[in-house]
Structure 1
Amino acid sequence: MKPTITIDFVSDVACPWCAVGLGNLNQAIAQLSDKANFEVHFRPFELNPKMPLGGQDAIEHLTEKYGLTVEQVQANQANIRTKASEAGFEFHPEGRKRVYNTFDCHRLLYWASKEHGLQKQAKLKKELLNTYFCLAVNLDDQDNLVDAVMRAGLDKDRALEILKGKEFADEVREEESTYTGAGINSVPSIILNGEYLLQGAQPSESFINAFEQILQKD
């Protein structure tokens, strides 16, 4: 019987490096699927929890946040697009237009896991990342979130019910507090078997090495 490696993938839908890290993680899992089972849980983290409705121009936000020039931001985005493509995400060539709050995305991801299981949560996570980075559309528009839900094979009406109310808000905030309270302040942060931490958009080789070390210990 194959051992199971549990993975807590702490991330935000608005984080491009989270998409890169997820793609690389999935490549590593595929390479070691004959040696272990992998149980991936997506945990919430908000890069911009106080972002108001309507968001902020992405270039403006990134230059202000990191003290970079427009040219530096554009160069960074081009580099990220290349890394994302290698990881299986084809980012929009013009980049994301605006930066948004992602709390509703996290509520939907929590629902997917709770009511439909981890595989559906993983599909929704991928589709929400595609919505933001590949389609480069408005995350404040609930129609775009519902489209992602439907592409993931989940129920449109149930998603709308959640989006129109406050369901799973407390649960998401509790999970966020758990991980920020444990010292997580940047994403992606990937926790293996509840005890090994990998941070940043690690290449697939780093994940493979970590998995193999865990399997050797077992």
Structure 2
Amino acid sequence: MTLLRIDLVSDVACPWCAIGYARLQQVLQSLQGAIAVDLHWRAFELNPDPALKPEPILPALCRKYGVPAAQMQQSQQMLMQLAAGLGLNFTGMEQRLTCNTFDAHRLLKWAAAAYPAVSAQSHSAQQASAQTRLKLALFEAYFGRAEQVSEPQVLLRCVEVAGLDTDSAAQVLASTQFADDVRAEEAAYQQAGISSVPAFVINQRYLISGAQEPAQLAGTLRQIAAEMNASA
């Protein structure tokens, strides 16, 4: 079995990041026995302004991309259908508000530090790392229930859903812990040329941009694994 390290640069507020991870799960299930991964979630903020005033997502996206409301609504509904096919809950997709996710990223850093993961995870619901469980809970809150994942009470509910210590998480939120780590990580990936997410960095060497179709992603991972084995 070949072990690949994957640094998944993403944002909690990015629907394609949730879809990209779900597709990665499909690929890993199909490649069981051949390829395993050591997954690390890395920070990226779609809305990095800490003073961001929440507003309904559809008009915000229309303004950002310069498209009419009907076209944007059709795009959002397409994403909802795609997510449903992958077992993701995107029912709150059109009701959500824009939000800043900096504190969510701080908690993801805390989860990785407080609950070190073992390598070669299968990423099943039972075996996913603490960081992954928290990330999925945040996706579910934002896209499934249209909850503001910038609000402490929402974040702490996600921590509880992930099976992590809410008291410790509350202490992190009440402090500036992991703030420098998140900023340094975001700056490093921006300097590396990553300007959109999801971005899969394989073995800190190969870059796969976007939520690739499972067949394409599987082929790329097989190729990278073959190159690793050949060089070894």
Do these two structures clear the TM 0.5 threshold for a shared fold by scoring above it? yes
Identity of aligned residues (%): 38
The answer for the alignment partner of 1:170 in structure 2 is: 180
The answer for the alignment partner of 2:191 in structure 1 is: 181
Shift of 1:163: 0.9
Contact 1:84 1:90 in 2 (8 A): yes
Contact 2:92 2:146 in 1 (8 A): no
Q: Which runs of 5+ in 2 are unaligned?
A: 118-128
C-alpha distance in structure 1 between counterparts of 2:97 and 2:220, whole Å: 35
C-alpha distance in structure 2 between counterparts of 1:208 and 1:96, whole Å: 34
C-alpha distance in structure 2 between counterparts of 1:94 and 1:116, whole Å: 30
C-alpha distance in structure 2 between counterparts of 1:94 and 1:125, whole Å: 17
Instruction: Give the aligned CA root-mean-square deviation in angstroms.
Output: 1.3
Q: SS of the counterpart of 1:7?
A: strand
Change in 2 beyond 3 A, CA 1:39/1:76 = same
The answer for the alignment partner of 2:116 in structure 1 is: 117
C-alpha distance in structure 1 between counterparts of 2:64 and 2:50, whole Å: 13
C-alpha distance in structure 2 between counterparts of 1:39 and 1:154, whole Å: 20
Q: SS of the counterpart of 1:197?
A: strand
The 5 A counterparts of 1:16-165 are: 16-50=15-49, 52=51, 54-92=53-91, 95-118=94-117, 119-165=129-175
Q: Which runs of 5+ in 1 are unaligned?
A: none
Q: SS of the counterpart of 1:17?
A: helix
C-alpha distance in structure 1 between counterparts of 2:224 and 2:105, whole Å: 29
- 1:11-30 alpha-carbon deviations (Å, 9 max, x no partner): 00000111111110111112
- Residue identity opposite 1:71 in structure 2: A
Q: SS of the counterpart of 1:77?
A: helix
- 1:137-175 alpha-carbon deviations (Å, 9 max, x no partner): 122321111111111110000111111111100001000
Shift of 1:116: 0.4
Change in 2 beyond 3 A, CA 1:94/1:166 = closer
TM-score, length-scaled by structure 1: 0.95
C-alpha distance in structure 2 between counterparts of 1:70 and 1:51, whole Å: 26
